[in-house]
Copies of this chain bind each other. A is one copy, B any other.
Amino acid sequence: MKLTHEASGTFAIAPTPFFEDGRIDYDSIDRLTDFYAEVGCNGVTVLGILGEAPKMEADESLQVATRFIKRAKDKQIIVGVSAPGFAQMRTLAQASMDAGAAAVMIAPPPHLRTDEQILGYFRQASEAIGSDVPWVLQDYPLTLTVVMTPSVIRKIVMDSPSCVMLKHEDWPGLEKISTLRGFQKDGSLRPLSILVGNGGLFLDFEMERGVDGAMTGYAFPDLLVDVVNLSKAGKRDAAHDLFDAHLPLIRYEQQPGVGLAVRKYVLKKRGKIASDAQRKPGSAMSALARSEVDYLLSRVGRVDKRANIS
């Protein structure tokens, strides 16, 4: 079941579980996949930036993607295929689709500067993977260093019919959402699913600005599902109340560079992955940092019992 512009709800960004010695932990992939389904995620995105994709070899990437796909059954899996060159991108994209992926995700490489360079890149990427492969455009300037204006995003989408979703994680990004939704109202942009990332730091207001849901890796995907659902149900205060209870931890987890360590630490505490190890080069948490996260969990747990896991 391929991804379309009607996709909405919550897609979890999955970490790749490793053992301490760097081998891939396939059993934890299964457990994670089941977990995401149980809490109500509509799909899972694998091999993204926080999936440690660049640390894997080509065949490993496909094996990881395939394992998620097989286990996910009717849930949609999106596979990150960003690569230094189009040859690798095409190969992983087509193999993933053959294995049953719903779509692929592409991020701009850091050397792109001008609007023309960005447009040219996505024209070629879209051509490389094939016009029958639905793809997600990732817009994450903080990490990727490429700045795409709403007009450029519109042009990318209008140029490539197979681009069905925007993973929006610009910061600040609220006005950008309103501008893109405005483009659709004035008829200059076709229907497009917009899911938001950036760790969920602005999910509360992003929902109110009109996005279709969340796609991020916060260690409580259940919280993302709830906030998305409450917001869609028009329960504004309830959505903010729940979101605000988690915000101190969301903020802590959304630290560049060290965030993945926090995320894996919490997922391990929750019993969803066997080890919080990262493949080298990885970041580690100090004992002090772990105790800070434990303290934050205990505070969240006063409002949301799912956080009582210590």
Contact = CB atoms under 8 A, between A and B. Distances in A.
Interface of A: 54-58, 60, 84-88, 91, 110-111, 113-117, 120-121, 124, 128, 147-149, 151-152, 171-172, 174-175, 178, 201-202, 204-205, 208-209, 240, 244, 247-248, 251-252, 255-258, 279-281, 286, 288-289, 292, 299
A244 to B, nearest CB: 5
A149 B240 contact: no
Contact of A175 (B120, B147, B286): B286
Given A172-B257, A240-B299, A256-B171, A281 B57 contact: no
A157 to B, nearest CB: 17
Contact of A114 (B57, B86, B149, B257): B149
- Shortest beta-carbon contacts, A-B, top 5: A54-B84, A172-B255, A55-B85, A115-B115, A113-B147
A243 to B, nearest CB: 8
18 contacts: A55-B87, A58-B58, A60-B87, A84-B84, A114-B115, A114-B148, A114-B149, A116-B149, A116-B151, A117-B147, A124-B281, A174-B289, A175-B286, A209-B288, A240-B248, A240-B299, A244-B244, A251-B251
